[in-house]
Amino acid sequence: MTRTPPKDPQAPGLAALAGLLADETRAACLLALLDGRAWTAGELARHAGVAPSTLSGHLAKLVAGGLLAEERQGRHRYVRLADARVAELLEELAAQAGPGARARPRTLRESSASAAMARGRTCYDHLAGRLGIAVTDALTERGLLRQDTGFALTDAGLAWFGSAGIALERRGRRPLARGCLDWTERRPHLAGTAGAALCRHALDTGWCERVGSGRAVRVTPAGESALARLLGLTATALR
């Protein structure tokens, strides 16, 4: 008599997660929330192009599945990605999907938005796109970041963050530095505590500014000057 092998205990959970992601409306909402901000249900419904009543059911599944966290302020319901791990999962899955899986822009507006996203954007709470890769490469070339055995800040890198006035929160279980696969550049950019601190500093000091209401960011003249001084990056590399 043939014995049935025991099921892997992680299989049901993995199947449930895949089911949550296997819907275009839910996927669109999750990708929009990679901007790191909380959105109202109405904003997400307009973004996904569905009725609020339809989106409500999708959001309930994503919250129950642990991918989204829900907050209420008065009459408004806000949702955001549950944590950085969810953001990292989404960005890496988007990279694995490959450029062929993304629809070509149909209008000049879509083409401009796509180009802006590829040039520079936030990936949850760190910099991505060509901007994120340029900063990561500059840190590596200057011996401030190591990528040979996974991402790690060197002693010189820790000192660099301090001299640049970028505070690093060393609490919690989040790694200080980790690589996140960039879905447009197909190479890893800096994430983790250090990536988040650098992105936050860039936005707070005006080195970077958001383009419109989405995830795209661009480097300001003040940012070009600061990054040239601190990392030797040229204006061409940042544009």
Please list the residue range(s) of the chain that carry CATH number 1.10.10.10.
Answer: 13-82
Q: Could you report the per-residue pLDDT of 147-161, keeping only the tens digit for each?
A: 988 899 999 999 999
Give the residue, 50 or 109, on which the prediction is more confident: 50
pLDDT digits (tens, 9 = 90+) for 42-73: 999 998 899 999 999 999 999 999 999 998 88
Q: pLDDT > 90: what percent of the chain?
A: 53
Span 112-140, mean pLDDT?
89
Return the closest-CA partner of residue 177 out of 214, 207, 148, 206: 148
pLDDT of residue 87: 86
Predicted local confidence at residue 169, as pLDDT: 83
**pLDDT classification of 37: cutoffs 50, 70, 90:** confident
Among 162, 165, 126, 160, residue whose Cα is nearest residue 144:
160
Average pLDDT over residues 20-49: 90
Can you tell me whether residue 123 is helix, strand or coil?
strand
pLDDT of residue 101: 47
User: Using CA atoms, how far apart are residues 192 and 194, in angstroms rounded to an integer?
Assistant: 6
pTM assigned to the model: 0.74
| Of 25-34, 71-80, 103-112, 130-139, the least confident | 103-112
* For range 111-130, the mean pLDDT: 85
- What residue type is 131 in one-letter code? L
Average of per-residue pLDDT across 188-210: 94
Where is pLDDT greater, at 114 or 163?
163
Residue-level pLDDT at 226: 95
User: Mean pLDDT over residues 93-111, rounded?
Assistant: 63
Q: Compute CA 172 distance to the chain's CA centroid, rounded to the nearest angstrom.
A: 19
As a CATH number, domain 13-82 is: 1.10.10.10
Q: What pLDDT, on a 0 to 100 scale, did the predictor assign at position 108? A: 58
- Bridge partners for 181 per DSSP: 188
Q: What is the pLDDT of residue 68?
A: 94
Average pLDDT, the chain: 87
Evaluate if residue 105 carries a pLDDT over 60: no
CA-to-CA distance for 147 and 1, rounded, in angstroms?
52
What pLDDT score does 54 carry?
93
Statement: residue 24 has pLDDT above 80: yes
Q: What is the signed CA dihedral for 57, 83, 112, 229, rounded to 10 degrees?
A: 170
Is the pLDDT at 100 greater than 60, yes or no? no
